[in-house]
Amino acid sequence: MNLKNASILIVDDDTDVLTAVRLLLKTEARDVVTEKNPENLRWHLSKENFDVILLDMNFTSSINTGNEGLFWLKEIRKVKPDTSVVMITAYGDIDLAIRSLKEGAADFVVKPWHNEKLISTIKAILKQKGSKTNPQPTFSTDSIIGKELLGESEAMQQIFHKIEKIAPTDANILILGENGTGKDLIAKAIHQQSLRPDKPFVKVDVGALTETLFESELFGHKKGAFTDAREDRTGRFEAAQNGTLFMDEIGNIPLHLQAKLLSVLQNRQVMRLGSNEPMPIDIRLICATNVPLTELANENRFRKDLIYRINTVEIMVPPLRKRGTDIILLAKYFGKLYSNKYMKPAPEFDVKAMEKLMNHHYPGNVRELQYIIERAVIMADDSLLQPHDLIFSPIESLSAPDTEPAEMKLSSVEKNTILKVIEKHNGNITKAAKELGLTRTALYRRLSKYDI
């Protein structure tokens, strides 16, 4: 469903919030209704069918527990179970907001929010509502999508739709994304849905190949072609014949070797080292790299003609920190996976534990989350995981190259300090602001600045 055709109700006792959201959405949505008193909700629901309701977590200043928001969420669900509700919450009430998801809320937004973030959240919900009446991507029963490759976020749903469209073609695919985002799983999913699913899927990490082994590994060699070539060797291109060749970390290939790779892709044939007989190849090529496309466009690093050759269609994989509640979805998946592996009860997650998972930055992405949950399953004394069971390794943050400009490092220090102090005070903004020597308003400005 399109936002332009949507009817939205905002319920908040802060008139400034009502005014701000109404002004933001009035040009975006068909109908925007504001309400200060939640007691009038039933009247509004009897008069109109709203597509989305933005509901504050707190209405009584003397209580501020969020229970009011949860109560009215349940009331909405009783009267209009198909209406999507987005909870509006303060930073310190994220645990209650996560609880609201269990009670049927579609999502939550944290004050102060970015306008673009609020609009994208509403659009994602409307798209999901529309998808219930529209055909969804259909994948074969052996597909890893929905089994290993998981995601309910809008970004991942877009990737699944793209896979459905491009997999049956022989178009060359370039998968872009940070380390640990699951680029290899996406490559496997494309192969599974291609017209070559019963043919070989061959992966090669070209970034790990030394220059002396590059041609031998990819193109093969004949016996005696060089020292230690004691027998004929089949290269990865030949091994992937009629199937899919997945070349990972392609952005790390030196320039002079890129020319040899380009020649093979253009001519669709390889020649083993030590041989004069070219062999035709028929492969589906998928490449991946953690190097940003802007850097690949630098001809001092990567040949532009090779980019065009490998990049008929590109897939941008989002980092885990931008996938919202996919974090909880994946955590539960890994919890079940490792409880089976180590013969332990399937873990549950305390609300505070889920909050801790949602607040982490994940420099190591899905791979980092996987190790966090595996460690927790092994070490936890109880099947209900608590925040102290979730240990974030310093390895990822320490492994980042020391190349940022000084002003960026100062920003990182300030952001990390704010996060640590807020976590220390369990999300209490007033106490955190006092320790940091800031007013609440100043702290909220910094939270907005760093997209926290």
Q: What is the DSSP letter of 217?
A: H
Which structure tokens are listed for 313?
Answer: 């269609």
Q: Is the pLDDT of residue 135 over 80?
A: no
> Burial level of 77, CB count in 10 A (0-12/13-18/19+)?
middle
33-37, 82-86, 304-308, 413-417: least confident range: 413-417
Q: What is the CATH number of the domain that holds 423?
A: 1.10.10.60
- The reported pLDDT for the residue numbered 402 is 44
Tally of domains within the chain: 4
pLDDT of residue 65: 57
Q: Model confidence over 255-295: pLDDT tens digits?
A: 888 988 999 999 999 988 888 888 999 999 999 999 887 78
* pTM strictly above 0.85: no
140 within some domain = no
- Which range scores top for mean pLDDT: 88-92, 125-129, 212-216, 329-333? 329-333
Does residue 194 sit in the same domain as residue 303? yes
Sign of CA dihedral 326, 327, 330, 331: negative
Model pLDDT, residue 451: 62
Same domain, 80 and 50: yes
Instruction: Kindly state whether residues 368 and 225 are assigned to the same domain.
Output: no
- Same domain for 167 and 23: no
Alpha-carbon distance 314 to 148, whole Å?
Answer: 21
Token code pair at residue 425: 């005070």
Specify whether 250 is located in the same domain as 197. yes
Residue 368 — very low, low, confident or very high, per pLDDT cuts 50/70/90?
very high
- The per-residue pLDDT for 132 is 53
- Given this model, what pLDDT does residue 399 score? 46
What is the maximum alpha-carbon separation in the chain? 86
In a domain, 193, yes or no: yes
Please give the pLDDT value at position 452: 62
* Least confident interval from 12-16, 187-191, 222-226, 283-287: 222-226
Q: Would residue 143 count as lying in a domain?
A: no
CATH at residue 391: 1.10.8.60
Residue matched to tokens 């009817």: 7
Same-domain check for residues 236 and 260:
yes
In the predicted structure, residue 229 carries a pLDDT above the cut 90: no
pLDDT at 405: 46
Distance from C-alpha of 213 to C-alpha of 220, rounded to nearest angstrom: 10
Q: Same domain for 218 and 181?
A: yes
- Terminal C-alpha separation, the chain: 29
Number of CB atoms found within 10 A of residue 31's CB: 14
Comparing 444 with 403, the larger pLDDT belongs to: 444
Judged against a pLDDT cut of 50, whether residue 404 lies above it is answered with no
pLDDT at 152: 87
| Same-domain status, 196 and 311 | yes
Interatomic CA distance for residues 167 and 414, integer angstroms: 44
Pair (117, 30) in one structural domain: yes
Position with higher pLDDT, 230 vs 381? 381
What CATH number should be reported for the domain holding residue 9? 3.40.50.2300
Q: Please give the average per-residue pLDDT across 339-362, as a whole number.
A: 92
Percent of the chain whose pLDDT exceeds 70? 87
| Assigned domain for 356 exists | yes
Percentage of the residues of the chain whose pLDDT score is greater than 90: 38
The pLDDT of residue 401 is 45
Please name the amino acid found at residue 288.
Answer: A
User: Over 80: is that where the pLDDT of 35 sits?
Assistant: yes
Indicate whether 274 and 342 sit together in one domain.
Answer: no
Q: Supply φ then ψ for residue 220, to 5 degrees.
A: 85, 175
Average pLDDT over residues 191-215: 88
CATH of the domain at 213: 3.40.50.300
Give the Cα separation of 393 and 380 in Å (integer): 16
**Is the pLDDT higher at 103 or at 236?**
236
Confidence of residue 398 (pLDDT cuts 50, 70, 90): very low
Read off the amino acid at residue 279.
M
CA atoms within 13 A on the CB side of 37: 4
pLDDT, averaged across the chain = 84
47 part of a folded domain: yes
- For residues 440 and 429, the answer to whether their CB atoms sit within 8 Å is yes
Contact between 15 and 35 under an 8 Å Cβ cutoff? The reply is: no
- Token couple for 117: 């973030």
Check whether 178 has a pLDDT greater than 80: yes
User: Are residues 116 and 238 located together in one domain of the fold?
Assistant: no
Mean pLDDT of 129-143: 61
Higher pLDDT among residues 57 and 414, named by residue: 57
**205 domain-assigned:** yes
- What pLDDT, on a 0 to 100 scale, did the predictor assign at position 55? 92
Question: In this structure, are 333 and 276 located in the same domain?
Answer: no
pLDDT at position 116, please?
83
Residue 58 lies in a domain: yes
The domain boundary residue, chosen from 97, 131, 165: 131
Task: Say yes or no to pLDDT of 222 above 50.
Answer: yes
In a domain, 438, yes or no: yes
Record the tokens describing residue 134, joined without a space.
């529209």
Question: What residue numbers bound the domain in which 443 lies?
Answer: 408-449
SS3 24: helix
pLDDT bin (cut points 50, 70, 90) of residue 201 is very high
